């Protein structure tokens, strides 16, 4: 029988996950279906339970339900536990619902494998300290950067994250104003500012020579942050489309035990985006 998977979100119509997972299933010859499901904002758990009753095997979880998914999971991977968010759920044969987060692995794979950036020994800056950033800190620290700085508009939130992940590597926190005089080799934008076409206040000399920038958002036109990066000397300005596909590949592997190839799917999505 065809196994059922889905992505839950609200809104969800724009989701590219069905297209990505359907392509992975074809490529790896896995018999599964994958759909986008809209859950009411206050009833994620009910929607997910109904999905399980109708032979649902596993799901991806997107905005605004990653916290609800964390609470719904009966068993969490250590990285999901620390991130406090879940983007991948699945039910095992005993009926136990497991939760994991694959966003961070997705980002690191896009940086290190697709973009061929070695993060070891690098000075890395992350802008933002919200849910999106929380999930990527541990995998970035695992690459052993020289330092990882979390800068956020609300400094206390950056401080909390730096404390939470202190045991995993050289992490510190600050506000945007404290960035004056500092230089970084890799800068990742994890703020929601891009969504509104906005940019955190950044010093003009923030980027070290040869620096690469990464916006966790993506769009048809270059994002405001990536435009800023190119205008300030970045040799690369990468958007989050690769992260989206890589986090999906990691979820697919968790569910099916097969690691799909991502390059063709990424190229197809980019082309569709350019033509939209
Ligand atoms: P997400 O799940 O997308 O991370 P979030 O948890 O609401 O969403 O976090 C949004 C992040 O974007 C936060 O770091 C937020 O800064 P604050 O913690 O100070 O609110 C940041 N952010 C949103 N709009 C911003 C803006 N215009 N300038 C700078 N940072 C912004």
Q: What is the pLDDT of residue 122?
A: 98
Which domain does 18 fall in, by range?
3-101
Q: Name the phi and psi angles at 116, rounded to 5.
A: 55, 40
Best substitution site from 153, 162, 173, 216 to test ligand 1's pocket, by max atoms within 8 Å of Cβ? 153
Q: Are the CB atoms for 25 and 34 separated by under 8 Å?
A: yes
Domain end among 78, 101, 124: 101
Residues 110 and 225 in one domain: yes
Which atom of ligand 1 lies at the shortest distance from residue 196's CA? 27
pLDDT digits (tens, 9 = 90+) for 191-224: 998 888 899 999 999 999 999 999 999 999 999 9
Residues 121 and 168 in one domain: yes
Nearest CA to ligand 1 atom 18: 154
Domain end among 44, 69, 101: 101
Residues 89 and 111 in one domain: no
Residues 109 and 233 in one domain: yes
Domain end among 51, 74, 101: 101
- Residues 6 or more apart in contact with residue 70 via CB below 8 angstroms: 76, 80, 84, 85, 86, 99
* Count of domains forming the chain: 2
Q: What is the pLDDT of residue 197?
A: 87
The rounded distance, in Å, linking the Cα atoms of 77 and 127 is 26
Residues 112 and 228 in one domain: yes
Residues 25 and 79 in one domain: yes
The rounded distance, in Å, linking the Cα atoms of 275 and 90 is 34
Q: What is the pLDDT of residue 1?
A: 81
Nearest-10 Cα torsion for 173, 175, 180, 184: 40
Contact residues of ligand 1, CB 6 A cut-off: 128-133, 152-154, 157, 191-193, 198, 200
The rounded distance, in Å, linking the Cα atoms of 270 and 220 is 8
Q: What is the pLDDT of residue 195?
A: 80
Strand order through the sheet with 88-91? 32-38, 3-9, 56-61, 88-91, 97-100, 75-76
Burial class of residue 73 in the structure, from the number of CB atoms within 10 Å of its CB (0-12 exposed, 13-18 middle, 19+ buried): buried
Cα(147) to ligand 1 centroid in Å equals: 22
Cα(214) to ligand 1 centroid in Å equals: 16
Cα(39) to ligand 1 centroid in Å equals: 24
Give the catalytic positions in this structure. 66
> Is 270 within the bounds of a domain?
no
Please give the model's pTM, rounded to 2 decimal places.
Answer: 0.96
- pLDDT tens string for the chain (276 positions)? 899 999 999 999 999 999 999 999 999 999 999 999 999 999 999 999 999 999 999 999 999 999 999 999 999 999 999 999 999 999 999 999 999 999 999 999 999 999 999 999 999 999 999 988 999 999 999 999 999 999 999 999 999 999 999 999 999 999 999 999 999 999 999 999 888 889 999 999 999 999 999 999 999 999 999 999 999 999 999 999 999 999 999 999 999 999 999 999 999 999 999 998
Report the CATH number that the domain containing residue 231 is assigned in CATH. 3.40.50.720
Best substitution site from 84, 192, 216, 244 to test ligand 1's pocket, by max atoms within 8 Å of Cβ? 192
Omega within 30 of 0 (cis) for the link into 27 = no
The rounded distance, in Å, linking the Cα atoms of 51 and 60 is 12
Tell me the DSSP string of 214-248.
Answer: EES---SSPPHHHHHHHHTT-SEEE-THHHHHHHH
Residues 56 and 154 in one domain: no
Residues 146 and 50 in one domain: no
Which atom of ligand 1 lies at the shortest distance from residue 129's CA? 14
């Amino acid at each position: 029988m065809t196994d059922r998977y889905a992505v839950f979100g609200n809104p969800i119509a724009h989701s590219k996950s069905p297209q990505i997972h359907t392509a992975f299933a074809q490529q790896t010859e896995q018999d599964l279906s994958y759909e986008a499901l809209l859950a009411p904002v206050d009833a994620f758990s009910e929607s997910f339970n109904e999905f399980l009753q109708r032979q649902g095997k596993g799901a991806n979880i997107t905005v605004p339900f990653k916290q609800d998914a964390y609470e719904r999971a009966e068993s969490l991977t250590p990285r999901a536990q620390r991130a406090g968010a879940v983007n991948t759920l699945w039910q095992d044969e005993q009926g136990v619902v497991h939760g994991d987060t694959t966003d961070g692995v997705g980002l690191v794979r896009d940086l290190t494998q697709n973009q061929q950036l070695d993060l070891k020994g690098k000075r890395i800056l992350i802008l933002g300290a919200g849910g999106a950033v929380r999930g990527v800190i541990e995998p970035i620290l695992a690459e052993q950067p020289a330092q990882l700085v979390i800068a956020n508009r609300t400094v206390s939130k950056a401080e909390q994250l730096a404390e939470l992940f202190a045991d995993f590597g050289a992490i510190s926190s600050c506000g945007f104003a404290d960035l004056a005089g500092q230089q970084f080799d890799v800068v990742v934008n994890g703020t929601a500012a891009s969504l509104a076409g906005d940019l955190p206040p950044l010093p003009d000399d923030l980027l070290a020579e040869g620096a690469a920038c990464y916006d966790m958002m993506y769009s048809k036109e270059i994002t405001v942050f990536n435009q800023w990066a190119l205008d300030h000397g970045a040799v690369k300005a990468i958007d989050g489309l690769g992260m989206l596909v890589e986090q999906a590949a990691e979820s697919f592997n968790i569910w099916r035990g097969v690691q799909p190839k991502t390059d063709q799917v990424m190229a197809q999505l980019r082309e569709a985006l350019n033509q939209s």
